[in-house]
Amino acid sequence: MRAFEFQRAGAALLRAERALPEPGAGELRVRVEACGVCRTDLHLLDGELAEPAARVVPGHQIVGRVDRLGPGLLEPVPGSRVGIPWLGATCGSCAFCAAEQENLCDAAQFTGYTRDGGFADYALADARYCFPLSEALDAAHAAPLLCAGVIGYRCLRLAGHGRRLGLYGFGAAAHIAIQVARARGQEVYVFTRPGDAQAQSFARELGARWTGASGESPPEPLDAAILFAPVGALVPLALAAVRKGGSVICGGIHMSEIPSFPYHLLWHERVLRSVANLTRRDASEFLALAPKLAIRTEVERFPLEQANQALLRLRSGALRGAVVLLP
């Protein structure tokens, strides 16, 4: 099979020919139909994620068909469609797992980071961390739901149901999160890079009440704000934009350094917190909710052979929605 491997930070992915991987006990092999390209993949390439697996294959928004079951598995049946997310496995026995915080498990494995992902023709996955997907879904449009969608949903859960919600950055996750927020009656205020008229126009198409540059103040104080852009300098700006008792949620796995800021921005019981990974509960709830809300993803498709070009396209920031690889 074809696979694109991470070699070292700062270098392009290397195309490789590999033998088909054989699933072990509790694993299944999936023929990849589509794999979303995520900013986390860029963090991997840039050396911002510590200790990736050697020659790891990136990609953690995988839609595919079950090709072979490992020993001990009877389902899902071969030929069925499944989704494989970022969280690839956990120990199941630590204090975090016992407290339904498996996203914080110290022994967790992550697809496309500590175990091979979907920038390939085939991928292996722990069957317990795969999710059935409808045959009615288009594979390319379904792929972003598995990370951009699920992580956005977790961010929304932590942000709460306040009336006014701010979104900083308007990429793959935000263009899905705004649809969920609007469906539950929230007003959404979108902040983008200065002068990014395309992103602001796209946000208004999806129901944003207001759009502006990241340094602007919203017309009214926000109840909560979610930072999807991995820019630490946005933290004090978002704290200044939320009301007393409001929350700022940092939705990325990596963020540039947060500058110092005066205590009064945090005072009055404002809350600053991060989102780490996802749980299977998050994925199950969101994947059940998405078709009910008719969530629509916008995607740009690239063939697998253009994996490096797809990453450059994502890095440019000049796109609507998400980037997806198609083997």
pLDDT in tens, 245-298: 999 999 999 999 999 999 999 999 999 999 999 999 999 999 999 999 999 999
Reply yes or no: is the peptide bond before residue 85 cis, omega within 30 of 0. no
The answer to whether 47 and 10 have CB atoms below 8 angstroms apart is yes
Q: How far apart are CA 172 and CA 314, in angstroms?
A: 10
pLDDT band at 318 (very low <50, low <70, confident <90, very high): confident
How much is the pTM? 0.95
The answer to whether 236 and 214 have CB atoms below 8 angstroms apart is no
For tokens 């989704």, what's the residue? 83
**Total domains present in the chain:** 2
End-of-domain residue from the set 274, 296, 316: 274
The tokens describing 211, both together, are: 């759009």
Same domain for 313 and 214: no
Q: What is the mean pLDDT of the chain?
A: 97
Same domain for 167 and 183: yes
What pLDDT sits at residue 123? 98
Same domain for 203 and 119: no
Same domain for 168 and 129: no
**pLDDT at position 32 over 90:** yes
Same domain for 235 and 224: yes
Domain ranges, residue 138: 2-146+278-326
Q: How far apart are CA 215 and CA 233, in angstroms?
A: 10
Strand partners, 165: 188, 224
Same domain for 303 and 260: no
Same domain for 231 and 288: no
Same domain for 181 and 64: no
**Burial grade of 235 (CB within 10 A; 0-12, 13-18, 19 or more):** buried
The answer to whether 229 and 169 have CB atoms below 8 angstroms apart is yes
Residue pLDDT, tens place only, 184-238: 999 999 999 999 999 999 999 999 999 999 999 999 999 999 999 999 999 999 9
CATH of the domain at 165: 3.40.50.720
Same domain for 128 and 162: no
